[in-house]
């Protein structure tokens, strides 16, 4: 596919802006109640969220969003722990697996070291905050310059800067990111670009003048096509294409919490809990107003010509004059009690925490939990997050590992690994993935205990060495701790992978 013309790129960009407009009022409310000031401080389109945040009285939703984002990071990509591995695929024979495992283990360690040395955990946590709040998040995955500790560099892209175009099924096909930069930064970042004469003269006179930069990514048969251009609003005449190129894997990873049919943007748990969040905020506001009345009170006074309400000081030791025979100041009794508000508020907060999974993914309330309770909690967590985890695995984790492998292969740090699912595939070792593995381990142990009581004939059917190796893989035991009767060499492992064209 040839790169699109600047006019066509700008038309698609304007179309993406129009299609996102219906979502922005809902996003403003989600940001205002669950992530105060975050949405409003990033883009002028979200400025009304600041005014809504001024009326925020209840922090239940904001606290639950932070806990859910932290729990997702700990369950999917825990820092200081390897949450993935490269393993032989289904098309590899058992003999070839023996040769491949050491090679893939070294490649997995190299990938993990680069992830740990980068800012991956910090930026992904920010993406999870956007994911939980508005249902869609974007992570920018770039290759770091040579000489740095890690080959990877990440950046969480605010949703205020992202515009998506999808197909009829709701799959994101084209992504546009708009950022405010200066003309001097344009010249430094794109030294080979040619600016139109009025804009070029302005860049010399005013290098700090701000302009709007739009980056576009769309799929191609060879990967994705990347383009950067200045829209007509910034140039004053027509859009200007700054650069274009191709990537084997998209540097922008867009992922969603869940989505309805035909929608390109995702839906978040905050959107589901938004009615309860707004109601709880209003209840707390009314409680505070009632508390201020209860503290200061509302007073009645006779208009007898002696008592001047403007001169009354309700402070300890003060003397308030009154006419003889008049009642003076008398408190106004409230028509009813406001105690029922606490019952309503506790119910609303419980529903908010339940919708945001704080009671499922949060810390254990009781320190004494049996093994059965732990397994049941893991099973319920898998049931609640099964669909979301499957979507994150397909839209975030798998593309993330594929691009990481391509970068290290291009640098020559790992061999050219065909991540096609047949010869080499990705195995997940995160706590959420291991919850299902623990259930499989329990079934295998139950089977071994059962056949052990059936006698020698039943025990002869079981392949104990193979069962031990399978248990080790399911529990994430390092391969070097499992003795292999037929160790292979690196040359034999490379022969199993075969020669492939280099993935640039």
Average pLDDT for 23-41:
79
Q: Mean per-residue pLDDT for 412-419? A: 90
Please identify which residue in the block is written with the tokens 């292969």: 409
pLDDT beyond 50 at 496: no
CB distance 84 to 429 below 8 Å: yes
Percentage of residues in the chain with pLDDT exceeding 90?
37
The answer to which of 142-151, 293-302, 350-359, 370-379 has the lowest mean pLDDT is 370-379
Burial zone of 190 (CB within 10 Å; 0-12 exposed, 13-18 middle, 19+ buried): middle
Q: CB under 8 Å to 219, separation ≥6 — which residues?
A: 173, 225, 250
Q: Picking from 84-93, 203-212, 344-353, which range would have the lowest pLDDT averaged per residue?
A: 203-212
Average pLDDT over residues 55-81: 90
C-beta pairs of 109-113 under 8 Å, 24+ apart in sequence? 109/82, 110/408, 110/413, 110/414, 111/84, 111/86, 111/401, 111/404, 111/405, 111/408, 111/414, 112/82, 112/84
3-state SS, residue 496: helix
Q: What is the mean pLDDT of the chain?
A: 82
Of 61, 36, 66, which Cα lies nearest the Cα of 49?
A: 36
Residue 218 tokens, joined: 């769309």
Residue 96 has pLDDT above 70, yes or no: yes
pLDDT for 163 equals: 96
Q: What six digits make up the tokens of 314? A: 């309700």
Structure tokens at 309: 């309400």
User: What DSSP element (H or E) covers 198?
Assistant: helix 197-205
Per-residue model confidence (pLDDT) at position 488: 44
Residue-level pLDDT at 493: 44
For the segment 205-216, what is each residue's pLDDT rounded down to a tens digit? 888 888 899 999
Look at the pTM and tell me if it is higher than 0.85: no
Reading phi first (left if > 0) and then psi (alpha if -120 to 50, else beta), residue 127 is in alpha
* Average pLDDT, integer, range 374-380: 65
Percentage of the chain lying above the pLDDT 70 cut: 77
| Highest-pLDDT range among 80-89, 232-241, 336-345, 438-447 | 80-89
Q: How far apart are CA 313 and CA 36, in angstroms?
A: 38
Could you give the angle at the alpha carbon of 46 between the alpha carbons of 42 and 48, nearest 5°?
A: 130
Strand-pair category, 252-256 with 240-247:
unpaired
* Per-residue CA distances from 179 to 157, 210, 245, 480 (Å): 10, 10, 19, 48
Tokens 């030791």 locate to: 317
Q: What is the pLDDT of residue 41?
A: 44
Q: Is the pLDDT of residue 383 over 80?
A: no
Mean pLDDT of 432-452: 77
pLDDT above 90 (res 302) = no
Domain positions in the chain = 6-59+115-271
Mean pLDDT value across residues 178-182: 91
């Amino acid at each position: 596919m040839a790169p699109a013309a600047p006019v066509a790129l700008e038309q698609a960009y304007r179309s993406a802006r129009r299609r996102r407009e219906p979502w922005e009022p809902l996003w403003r409310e989600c940001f205002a109640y669950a992530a105060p000031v975050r949405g409003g401080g990033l883009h002028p389109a979200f400025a009304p969220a600041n005014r809504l945040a001024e009326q925020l009285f209840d922090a239940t939703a904001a606290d639950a969003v932070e806990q859910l984002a932290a729990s997702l990071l700990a369950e999917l990509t825990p820092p200081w722990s390897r949450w993935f591995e490269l393993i032989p695929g289904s098309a590899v024979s058992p003999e070839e697996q023996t040769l491949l495992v050491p090679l893939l283990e070294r490649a997995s360690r190299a990938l993990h070291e680069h992830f740990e040395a980068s800012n991956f955990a910090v930026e992904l946590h920010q993406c999870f905050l956007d994911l939980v709040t508005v249902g869609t998040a974007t992570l920018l995955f770039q290759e770091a310059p040579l000489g740095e500790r890690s080959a990877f560099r990440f950046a969480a892209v605010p949703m205020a800067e992202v515009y998506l175009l999808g197909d009829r099924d709701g799959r994101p096909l084209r992504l546009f990111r708009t950022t405010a930069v200066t003309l001097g930064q344009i010249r430094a970042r794109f030294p080979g670009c040619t600016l139109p004469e009025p804009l070029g003269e302005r860049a010399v006179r005013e290098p700090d003048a701000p302009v709007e930069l739009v980056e576009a990514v769309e799929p191609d048969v060879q990967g994705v096509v990347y383009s950067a251009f200045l829209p007509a609003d910034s140039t004053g005449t027509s859009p200007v294409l700054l650069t274009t190129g191709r990537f084997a894997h998209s540097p922008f990873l867009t992922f969603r919490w869940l989505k309805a049919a035909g929608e390109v943007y995702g839906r978040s748990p905050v959107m589901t809990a938004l009615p309860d969040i707004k109601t709880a905020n209003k209840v707390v506001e009314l409680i505070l107003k009632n508390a201020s009345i209860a503290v200061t009170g509302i007073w009645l006074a006779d208009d007898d010509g002696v008592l001047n309400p403007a001169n009354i000081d309700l402070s300890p030791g003060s003397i308030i004059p009154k006419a003889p025979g008049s009642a003076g100041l008398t408190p106004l009794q409230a028509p009813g009690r406001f105690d029922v508000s606490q019952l309503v508020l506790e119910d609303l907060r419980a529903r908010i925490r339940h919708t945001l999974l704080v009671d499922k993914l949060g810390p254990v309330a009781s320190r004494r939990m049996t093994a059965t309770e732990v397994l049941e909690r893991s099973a319920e967590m898998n049931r609640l997050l099964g669909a979301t985890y499957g979507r994150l695995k397909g839209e975030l984790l798998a593309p993330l590992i594929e691009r990481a492998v391509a970068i290290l292969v291009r640098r020559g740090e790992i061999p050219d690994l065909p991540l096609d699912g047949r010869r080499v595939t990705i195995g997940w070792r995160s706590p959420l993935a291991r919850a299902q593995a623990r259930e499989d381990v329990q079934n295998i142990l139950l089977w071994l205990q059962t056949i052990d009581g059936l006698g020698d004939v039943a025990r002869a059917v079981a392949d104990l060495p193979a069962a031990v190796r399978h248990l080790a893989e399911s529990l994430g035991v390092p391969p070097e701790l499992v003795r292999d009767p037929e160790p292979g060499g690196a040359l034999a492992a490379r022969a199993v992978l075969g020669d492939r064209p280099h993935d640039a």
